[in-house]
Chains A and B, each alone.
Chain A
């Protein structure tokens, strides 16, 4: 591991190589893929939150010129395997389209295939479905009660998961503590909502028995899942990874879409594509995020030191299980945040409801959990009457305590939380910021400062799977890189995933260039299709800097070893007597050098000059196991992710007390993700994450009405922050290298998002605290603020 200053390319101000094609409009997204004879799909949606499907009549639709097929959910289910459930819940069956019963408003009931998308939409309107409406449940707490109507009758209840973990002496710590308090906070259902909807093109070739797939995916084990569901051999599905994905941030999973389209392509022997339109994406793309109520009890001393925490997280998974319940599992790996909390009781409850199904969203449940923990810390501070910063300072794990084992079994790799916070305080000139808040207050504005100290667990593996499902014994979540040096001496690096803006080509070329001492700009990065790919798990869980970076670095190391062996053999010395530097191998004692061209020449052309038994060619592969992560859970404890980035948010907001509008006056984030590979990429991730967080805090929500209908289906109702709503963000850097990774790097793909909602909520609550108000549910809409302020001060005339 090197210190940042020692790098030639890593951490340097270097361009992101992917950007060239994007600014020229030459990205290649799934909607840009054209196959000869391609047909188009539109969907028929259930108008009811719950209804038995009595009949589906497609004659009128089929009569329309250009319509090729109408497929019902029942027909599809007869031909494919059910989609995978994360938990062991065999009676919560899920197929791409409703089978016999629709379970949420918008659910796919039938699919229409036609020559154009417009005709498919025309025909979808003509499919006549007879429904018998059924009772439905939208509210999670109601769904949790035994008397609620089960969304899946055979499952017997709406409870997918109800598991209580006790880590440490919780009751004892509660009994010993000076104070206890309880709070409830609610995280509204939102999502990352990429501007590109999900899309997939599938093309079945009956002469080679191959299904070719182009999709805007970010999904671990995607090809395997498609093959399994379609009853194809694993090597019968070829997923093309050279498709640019127009944003994902977790949600682009698309299994149901792909199984549907793959099946249609096989039925019709034609390429078939489904590009969700925005309405389909919002109401039936199954891409909503966590929807969670936290009940927290906390035990602490008069000095603000927190001893123990009891948390119940009740999550509304929606109509099907999928991987949603696991989003209650991943936060177990950072359940105490950056704090030295000695014991925890955690009850994770996931229930079905007649909302759209939930999918993985940036942070995989960590952002809501961080919001709950940080709300708790603010409440503790208020209760003991000690400054919020001081309370955090007293509870932070110390820089000298790493690796630090938290009660739930994860060992934090490294960190220096005190220093990051102090750097932010110095940057904002804390007394000046306080004075500015008070000055704003004196003008009649509401003004508040919010802080959030949050962890970003990174290097994603899937330890939550065996933890929550004992039938699952997965202990690896590997990533692979292959490096090939051709006979002309140029380097190609193979990566095995799609990318959705993370800059993996830049990442891989930078790391390989650094390791080999070669100009990254001259290194080509290639994405073989899934059939030519090595094992990998896609860019989830803030993992690629660690995992792809690790695999790339270690593969490069193997290549260097080979170069050294070739040269040492030529020099007649031991391998240990030579050094590799910038493409050449030098004998330490004599200074004799074998240059890159010669090394390549020997490897490619001179078998007689190779050491005995060495294979010709210059190629290296590394399949990298997640560091520090090979154990199955013991007693409900497990190492979740290996690395832990840290972010400290501080924001000053001003609120017009009558209008309720929140204006950001200052937004600062202290960020420590270890060694940064490309500063531009990390900066962008952080700012973008903060934008998502601000959206979640203030305006984004999938709202369901009492009639079970989703009311925010368009971008006029589901509000995404624009440039007007985003503050100018100041970033304060810190670097605590991870001891577990090849360069000291940690993850940053979820940064910003993990703390921004908590910080914004904290700022608003600081602003309204003088009125005795507190907001405990996100999003905090401006109308809500205004109404609450008016109710709290009915007599005051706060004309500004």
Chain B
């Protein structure tokens, strides 16, 4: 299991990286490499050159933009996991990060890499979709921006232009205090999820839901935010019964992914259950909720 031969470049600027991608369609970006390296070892990926963007200064750091936290694409998952800023401002991401791979893979894997890889069962893309975030990218033609709901196009497929460098990932931060919930099921803890569910909710002083969001991973071809659930539960107290009812319809409408690991029935059943658990956790951990 040795990778096919390639050449290695480490551009010193973002512009340089963009130029390489434009010139060579077989070039691939590498940052953490925790997904790409095994694909290369099995020769399922055979880039002509690896463009190492892990140390580009343009891709580093987490910035607080008020209504969002903006992660440089090369921010390591472990770095985000330990960031007090993430813990305080993005509790949903903080809750999901320990589920990403294992600690040794999080110490190398990046936020941007996970998003760009677009595994339907991956946790970071799920949180991005659930919160309705966005990504920034750069090509030789200049910067661009794609909202999460348009970004994930299918399993391991995104709307990112082929010669683009994903530069930043924007996770919205709500202005009101939130509660969050995250659940997933896999054969072993830290395996890819058969189904995962992420939820966030906010309540007013009367215990009425101001806003909530629920996303499901692993169930469909892309991480999916269930818009109808958010609509149904807003303005309600989010009782268990209301949650169950909202999920019933939303999950029934979902186009469930099929593979050899779990039956579609399993995914649908568990999506409903984990969705409900995530929402209940979000509710119960949110200030002001009184179901």
Direct contact of A and B (CB under 8 A): yes
CB distance from B193 to the nearest CB of A (A): 11
Q: Which of B52-60, B66-74, B165-173, B261-269 contacts A (4 or more CB under 8 A)?
A: B261-269
Give the residue name and chain of the B residue nearest to A278 (CB).
B1
Q: Find A658's partner among B1, B261, B269 (CB 8 Å cutoff).
A: B269
Docked complex Cα distance between A122 and B189 (Å): 36
Interface string of A627-667 (1 = CB under 8 A from B): 00000000000000000000000000000001111000000
Task: Given the known inter-chain contacts A277-B1, A783-B261, A783-B263, please indicate yes or no for A658 contacting B188, CB distance below 8 A.
Answer: no
Q: Find B2's partner among A121, A661, A719, A799 (CB 8 Å cutoff).
A: A121
Beyond A659-B273, A721-B188, A799-B276, 10 additional pairs, beta carbon < 8 A: A279-B1, A658-B270, A703-B260, A719-B188, A722-B189, A725-B189, A781-B187, A783-B263, A787-B266, A799-B240
Docked complex Cα distance between A125 and B42 (Å): 12
CB distance from B108 to the nearest CB of A (A): 17
Q: Which of B4, B262, B276 has the most CB of A within 10 A?
A: B262
Q: Is A472 an interface residue (CB 8 A)?
A: no
Q: Is A60 an interface residue (CB 8 A)?
A: no
Docked complex Cα distance between A705 and B185 (Å): 25
Q: Is A790 an interface residue (CB 8 A)?
A: yes
Task: Given the known inter-chain contacts A277-B1, A279-B42, please indicate yes or no for A786 contacting B270, CB distance below 8 A.
Answer: yes
Docked complex Cα distance between A546 and B14 (Å): 67
Judge whether B266 and A783 touch: CB under 8 Å: yes
Q: Is A118 an interface residue (CB 8 A)?
A: yes
Q: Which of B4, B42, B188, B190 has the most CB of A within 10 A?
A: B188
Instruction: Return chain B residues, CB-CB under 8 Å to A799.
Output: 240, 244, 273, 276
Q: Is A699 an interface residue (CB 8 A)?
A: yes
Q: Is A774 an interface residue (CB 8 A)?
A: no
Instruction: Return chain A residues, CB-CB under 8 Å to B5.
Output: 118, 122
Q: Find A722's partner among B190, B192, B244 (CB 8 Å cutoff).
A: B190
Judge whether A787 and B263 touch: CB under 8 Å: yes
Instruction: Return chain A residues, CB-CB under 8 Å to B266.
Output: 660, 783, 786-787
Task: Given the known inter-chain contacts A659-B270, A787-B266, please indicate yes or no for A782 contacting B187, CB distance below 8 A.
Answer: yes
Give the residue name and chain of the A residue nearest to B41 (CB).
A277
Give the residue name and chain of the A residue nearest to B195 (CB).
A659
Docked complex Cα distance between A783 and B3 (Å): 34
Q: Is A724 an interface residue (CB 8 A)?
A: yes
Interface string of B245-267 (1 = CB under 8 A from A): 00000000000000011110110
What are the 3 A-B residue pairs with the smallest beta carbon separation, nearest first? A118-B2, A277-B1, A724-B189
Q: Find B273's partner among A658, A721, A725 (CB 8 Å cutoff).
A: A658
Give the dominant DSSP class at B's interface: loop
Give the residue name and chain of the A residue nearest to B277 (CB).
A800
A to B contact number (C-beta, < 8 Å): 65
CB distance from A725 to the nearest CB of B (A): 6
Instruction: Return chain B residues, CB-CB under 8 Å to A394.
Output: none
Docked complex Cα distance between A725 and B189 (Å): 8
Judge whether B188 and A699 touch: CB under 8 Å: yes
Judge whether B187 and A724 touch: CB under 8 Å: no
Instruction: Return chain A residues, CB-CB under 8 Å to B1.
Output: 121, 277-279
Judge whether A659 and B185 touch: CB under 8 Å: yes
Instruction: Return chain B residues, CB-CB under 8 Å to A660.
Output: 266
Restricting to B183-240, which residues have a CB under 8 Å from any CB of A? 185, 187-192, 194, 240
Task: Count contacts on A: residues with CB < 8 A to the other chain.
Answer: 31
Task: Given the known inter-chain contacts A658-B269, A658-B273, A786-B269, please indicate yes or no for A117 contacting B2, CB distance below 8 A.
Answer: yes
Interface string of A774-800 (1 = CB under 8 A from B): 000000011100110010000000011
Docked complex Cα distance between A725 and B186 (Å): 12
Give the dominant DSSP class at A's interface: loop
Give the residue name and chain of the A residue nearest to B192 (CB).
A716
A/B interface sample: 24 pairs, CB < 8 A: A121-B43, A122-B4, A279-B42, A658-B273, A659-B185, A659-B274, A660-B266, A661-B185, A705-B260, A716-B192, A719-B188, A721-B188, A722-B188, A724-B188, A724-B189, A725-B188, A781-B187, A783-B263, A786-B269, A787-B266, A790-B265, A799-B244, A799-B276, A800-B273
Instruction: Return chain B residues, CB-CB under 8 Å to A658.
Output: 269-270, 273
CB distance from B165 to the nearest CB of A (A): 28
Q: Is A79 an interface residue (CB 8 A)?
A: no
Docked complex Cα distance between A721 and B194 (Å): 17
CB distance from B251 to the nearest CB of A (A): 13
CB distance from A276 to the nearest CB of B (A): 10
Give the residue name and chain of the B residue nearest to A703 (CB).
B260
Docked complex Cα distance between A705 and B260 (Å): 10
Docked complex Cα distance between A60 and B187 (Å): 43
Docked complex Cα distance between A484 and B261 (Å): 58
Interface string of A693-724 (1 = CB under 8 A from B): 00000010001010000010010100101101
Docked complex Cα distance between A658 and B43 (Å): 38
Q: Which of A714, A719, A725, A782 has the most CB of B within 10 A?
A: A782
CB distance from B240 to the nearest CB of A (A): 8
Instruction: Return chain B residues, CB-CB under 8 Å to A125.
Output: 43
Judge whether B262 and A783 touch: CB under 8 Å: yes
Docked complex Cα distance between A94 and B279 (Å): 59
CB distance from B40 to the nearest CB of A (A): 12
Instruction: Return chain B residues, CB-CB under 8 Å to A122.
Output: 4-5
Interface string of B142-179 (1 = CB under 8 A from A): 00000000000000000000000000000000000000
CB distance from A139 to the nearest CB of B (A): 17
Q: Which of B2, B244, B269 has the most CB of A within 10 A?
A: B2
Docked complex Cα distance between A800 and B244 (Å): 12
Q: Find A724's partner among B190, B244, B273 (CB 8 Å cutoff).
A: B190
Docked complex Cα distance between A724 and B191 (Å): 11
Interface string of B2-19 (1 = CB under 8 A from A): 111100000000000000
Instruction: Return chain B residues, CB-CB under 8 Å to A724.
Output: 188-190
Q: Find A699's partner among B187, B270, B273, B277 (CB 8 Å cutoff).
A: B187
CB distance from A187 to the nearest CB of B (A): 19
Instruction: Return chain A residues, CB-CB under 8 Å to B194.
Output: 783
Instruction: Return chain B residues, CB-CB under 8 Å to A118.
Output: 2-3, 5
Give the residue name and chain of the B residue nearest to A782 (CB).
B187
Instruction: Return chain B residues, CB-CB under 8 Å to A278.
Output: 1
Instruction: Return chain A residues, CB-CB under 8 Å to B2.
Output: 117-118, 121
Give the residue name and chain of the B residue nearest to A119 (CB).
B2
Give the residue name and chain of the B residue nearest to A40 (CB).
B2
Docked complex Cα distance between A23 and B188 (Å): 27
Judge whether B244 and A719 touch: CB under 8 Å: no
Instruction: Return chain B residues, CB-CB under 8 Å to A716.
Output: 191-192
Give the residue name and chain of the B residue nearest to A117 (CB).
B2
Instruction: Return chain A residues, CB-CB under 8 Å to B276.
Output: 799
Instruction: Return chain A residues, CB-CB under 8 Å to B273.
Output: 658-659, 799-800
